[in-house]
Amino acid sequence: MMLKILGELALVGAIASVFIVAAQGRAAERAAEEASGRDYMRSLDEMTSKALNRKTIASWNYESNITDYNEQIQTQVFLEVAEEQKEYWKETMTYLWREFEDEDLKRMFKKYSQLGTAALPEDLNQRLIQAVNNMQATYAKATICDYKDRSKCDLHVEPDVTNIFAESQDAEELKYTWVEWHKAAGAPSRGNFTEYVQMNNEAAKLNGYDTAAEWWLSEYEQEDSEEQFVALWRQLRPLYRQIHAYVRRHLRLQYGDSVVPARGPIPAHLLGNIWAQTWGGVEKFTRPYPDKPDVDVTAALISQNYTALKMFKTAEEFFTSLNLSGMPDLFWERSIIEKPTDGRDMVCHASAWDFFDSEDFRIKQCTTITKNFFLTTHHEMGHIQYYLQYKDQPVIYRAGANPGFHEAVGDVMSLSVSTPKHLRVMGLLEDGPDDLESNINQLYKMGLDKIVFLPFAYALDLFRYGVFRGATPPPHYTCHWWQLRAALQGVQPADTRSEQDFDPAAKYHVAADVEYMRYYISYIIQFQFHRSLCQLAGEYSPGDASNLLSNCDIYKSTAAGNALGKMLQLGSSKPWPDAMEMLTGQRKMDASGVLEYFQPLHDWLKAENERTGEYIGWEPSTVQFCTEEQLSLMEGSEFKKTLDKLNA
């Protein structure tokens, strides 16, 4: 008996060791595969760096000088690089990377397993490139005639249309300019946009997504991103409705009841910006306390002989004061910081470029000497700062923790730069009272930039999600676009619209295929970042009423700069909640930063709107943008469900 047991035990032992040996063999195989994956990843990343460098050079050459030749070269380079990437991708997919132990290596493989638009067959990729180039060129070249001098027909969006909207208070001139700009820049791109949507959706499918909407959303790495976006909007809406009602009342006083209906959406041409995305242009005649000294930074910049270069150097100094990086020599050599005067066509919309060689970083911007461009310069330099901080990461990680993070860096600087405290340090603002009324004026000014932007940004990409998903087909573009803008922003078009128009493409990011939810996210998380940086700088402690968040200036705080730099260095190597937690201790996007910042203004607006009896919210638009037929088709549709969710 004993012998039998011993014999059985020996047998079990023998079988076990066979298993162990086999398992050890597999583990060794896996380790070898993982090691080879690691080597492969190094060469893939090097190839990608060269490929992205080639593409970026070709794009820069085209966008800074729009000619047929430069377009042809750009298309050719894009197609060649796509073929190269396709070949690499096939090899990438032979690795069993999902079984790798090294989480970081897995993350890189996962990112590389998405081929992007290179997944398209060459002919479709070419159609996609062509459609975007056509829209981009239409936008960049669009010109309109002057309202007063109709023989002067070379007005571009930058600086001409922008200036008219910032300065004119002639409702007829504004309406005319609004209509003409949308005619010149929007309508001609309708067909190209439809083509772009089809090709982009094809690419999305080849990358494993239902539509390009899910593809764009994947950048936020969360299952429930869309629910988060709508929840954030519900938190912000009460504040928005107060500032909306307040501004509408003042516009009514300025332009009369017949131009601005008492309970209606605000006509979009009266808000000081061609897209009604920020409303700083109406600040001068809507200020809460008009008798308090005006804070006119544009006038100070001009009188102090600021140039584009001086604005850039000033912005750079803010970053270096935080112990962050200065701009490298190549940046100063190769950036374009003013509109060229040689008559060439160029994409003027400000942008910051990473050439993926860890050396070449540039900004392209048609700077004029205004407060807005002073802040935009900080915004763009924030992108370059991010590039510089993560330049030693593998190429696949040289991106923001999510797209909103990238947009937030420079804006965080601007939040400090815009404070009266900082402007005084800079000599851009004279000494003035530091009382409650001046403070409300200041917060109001910020609100016209920050609060009112949120529903604009949100509407823009809800529109494109709907188009990508087929809920908004081409015959309903205009109707749905204005339904969304009316629902979210409470604005209405300057004049009747029809499906002959295509107003979304009169906005740069639609014409240029730039995802826009990033700005919605940025305008929320930048206040979370600002709050944390201000605490690190010893400039703010929550609950201390004598130290408002809106008065904090992090200038010269190396504690703040070092903390921000650490987060930026991660690039996209970790999921964004990890990056956010490093700086803020929070793992969620959260509107409480915005709400805390604007609390005194919110209270003031509520009291003021109550005092004047202003209606809060808005009734349906009186300007027509949908036909009866379109409205009846909308009942019970997917699009209607989106609208209902927003209004809930």
Interface of this chain with ligand X8Z, residues 261 to 280, rule: CB under 6 A: 277
Q: Which is closer to ligand X8Z, CB of 55 or CB of 379?
A: 379
Q: Which is closer to ligand X8Z, CB of 506 or CB of 643?
A: 506
Active site residue 509: yes
The item of ligand X8Z, Zn ion, none sharing an interface with residue 360, based on CB under 5 to 8 Å by kind, is none
Dist CA 102 CA 35 (whole Å): 10
Interface of this chain with Zn ion, residues 406 to 435, rule: CB under 5 A: 407
Dist CA 500 CA 277 (whole Å): 23
Residues 6+ apart with CB under 8 A from 602: 238, 239, 242, 595
Dist CA 557 CA 527 (whole Å): 17
Asked if 616 and 609 touch (Cβ cutoff 8 Å), the reply is yes
Out of 350, 510, 568, 570, point to the residue binding ligand X8Z (CB under 6 A).
350
Pairing of strands 361-364, 351-354: antiparallel
Q: Among 404-412, 489-497, 548-556, 609-617, which window interacts with Zn ion (CB under 5 A)? A: 404-412
HSE-up (13 A, CA, CB side) for residue 533: 32
Interface of this chain with Zn ion, residues 265 to 304, rule: CB under 5 A: none
The item of Zn ion, ligand X8Z, none sharing an interface with residue 472, based on CB under 5 to 8 Å by kind, is none
Residues 6+ apart with CB under 8 A from 244: 266, 452, 489, 490, 618
Q: Which of 379, 509, 530, 602 is catalytic?
A: 509
Beta-carbon count within 10 A of 170 CB: 14
The item of Zn ion, ligand X8Z, none sharing an interface with residue 573, based on CB under 5 to 8 Å by kind, is none
Rounded to a whole number of angstroms, the minimum distance from the CB of residue 516 to Zn ion is: 11
Q: Which residue reads 């740069």 in tokens? A: 508
Q: Among 64-72, 124-132, 315-323, 402-410, which window interacts with Zn ion (CB under 5 A)? A: 402-410
The item of Zn ion, ligand X8Z, none sharing an interface with residue 376, based on CB under 5 to 8 Å by kind, is ligand X8Z
Helices and strands (DSSP H and E) totals, the chain:
25, 4
Rounded to a whole number of angstroms, the minimum distance from the CB of residue 647 to ligand X8Z is: 25
Contact map string, positions 335 to 364, toward Zn ion, x by CB under 5 A: ------------------------------
The item of Zn ion, ligand X8Z, none sharing an interface with residue 350, based on CB under 5 to 8 Å by kind, is ligand X8Z
Q: Which is closer to Zn ion, CB of 226 or CB of 407?
A: 407
Q: Which is closer to Zn ion, CB of 71 or CB of 407?
A: 407
Q: Which of 63, 158, 316, 380 is catalytic?
A: 380
Beta-carbon count within 10 A of 318 CB: 24
Asked if 47 and 88 touch (Cβ cutoff 8 Å), the reply is yes
DSSP conformational letter for 159: I
- Tell me the angle at which helices 225-255 and 453-468 cross, rounded to the nearest 10 degrees: 130
Rounded to a whole number of angstroms, the minimum distance from the CB of residue 367 to ligand X8Z is: 11
Whole-number Cα distances in Å, 568 to 85, 378, 386, 402, 489:
27, 16, 6, 11, 32
The item of Zn ion, ligand X8Z, none sharing an interface with residue 88, based on CB under 5 to 8 Å by kind, is none
Q: Which is closer to ligand X8Z, CB of 277 or CB of 325?
A: 277
Asked if 531 and 540 touch (Cβ cutoff 8 Å), the reply is yes
Q: Which is closer to ligand X8Z, CB of 261 or CB of 403?
A: 403
Closest CA to 133 of 60, 62, 212: 62
> Which uninterrupted H or E stretch holds 521?
helix 517-536
Q: Which is closer to ligand X8Z, CB of 97 or CB of 386?
A: 386
The item of Zn ion, ligand X8Z, none sharing an interface with residue 423, based on CB under 5 to 8 Å by kind, is none
Rounded to a whole number of angstroms, the minimum distance from the CB of residue 379 to Zn ion is: 6
519 binds ligand X8Z (CB under 6 A): yes
**CA of residue 351 relative to chain centroid, distance:** 11
Interface of this chain with ligand X8Z, residues 271 to 330, rule: CB under 6 A: 277
377 binds ligand X8Z (CB under 6 A): no
331 binds ligand X8Z (CB under 6 A): no
Rounded to a whole number of angstroms, the minimum distance from the CB of residue 353 to ligand X8Z is: 11
Q: Which residue reads 């409303």 in tokens? A: 279
> Which uninterrupted H or E stretch holds 462?
helix 453-468
The item of ligand X8Z, Zn ion, none sharing an interface with residue 528, based on CB under 5 to 8 Å by kind, is none
Rounded to a whole number of angstroms, the minimum distance from the CB of residue 522 to Zn ion is: 8
Rounded to a whole number of angstroms, the minimum distance from the CB of residue 455 to ligand X8Z is: 13
Dist CA 407 CA 395 (whole Å): 19
Dist CA 465 CA 249 (whole Å): 33
376 binds ligand X8Z (CB under 6 A): yes
Asked if 360 and 534 touch (Cβ cutoff 8 Å), the reply is no
The item of ligand X8Z, Zn ion, none sharing an interface with residue 147, based on CB under 5 to 8 Å by kind, is none
Dist CA 188 CA 175 (whole Å): 20
Dist CA 431 CA 440 (whole Å): 17
Instruction: Name the residue with the smallest CB distance to ligand X8Z.
Output: 350
Rounded to a whole number of angstroms, the minimum distance from the CB of residue 244 to ligand X8Z is: 19
Beta-carbon count within 10 A of 61 CB: 17
Which burial class, exposed, middle or buried, applies to 12 when counting CB atoms under 10 A from its CB (0-12, 13-18, 19+)?
exposed
Residue type present at position 583: L
Instruction: Name the residue with the smallest CB distance to Zn ion.
Output: 407
Rounded to a whole number of angstroms, the minimum distance from the CB of residue 448 to ligand X8Z is: 14
Active site residue 380: yes
Number of residues located near ligand X8Z, criterion CB under 6 A: 6
Binding residues for ligand X8Z, rule: CB under 6 A, are 277, 350-351, 376, 379, 519
Catalytic residues: 380, 509
Binding residues for Zn ion, rule: CB under 5 A, are 407
